[in-house]
Amino acid sequence: MPRVEIYTTPWCPFCIAAKRLLSGKGVAFEETDVSGNPDLRQTMMQRANGRYTVPQIFIDDRHIGGSDDLHALDRAGKLDPILAG
């Protein structure tokens, strides 16, 4: 199973939707709350090529993008192969 990381804030509905999709697929993920922590947000932005919105999702250090990107991969049938490693 690949390493899945997701940068979030507690009040973000897109974060909740992304986590729900991953959990529904039985995927364990590491969640990093960037709210109130500029250093963590800066790390996220560096990894996400300057993107500052949450969530930012990484699978095996590959930047997937945000919730819309994750759901688009799933609709296209491309997420499961990535998650399969």
pTM: 0.95
Q: Would you state the pLDDT for residue 27?
A: 96
Q: Is 9 a member of any domain?
A: no
Q: How many structural domains comprise the chain? A: 1
Q: Is 57 a member of any domain?
A: yes
With cut-offs at 50, 70 and 90, classify the pLDDT of residue 60: very high
Q: In CATH, what number is assigned to the domain containing residue 46?
A: 3.40.30.10
Q: Would you state the pLDDT for residue 69?
A: 98
How many whole angstroms separate alpha carbon 85 and alpha carbon 27? 12
Q: Is 55 a member of any domain?
A: yes
Q: Is 52 a member of any domain?
A: yes
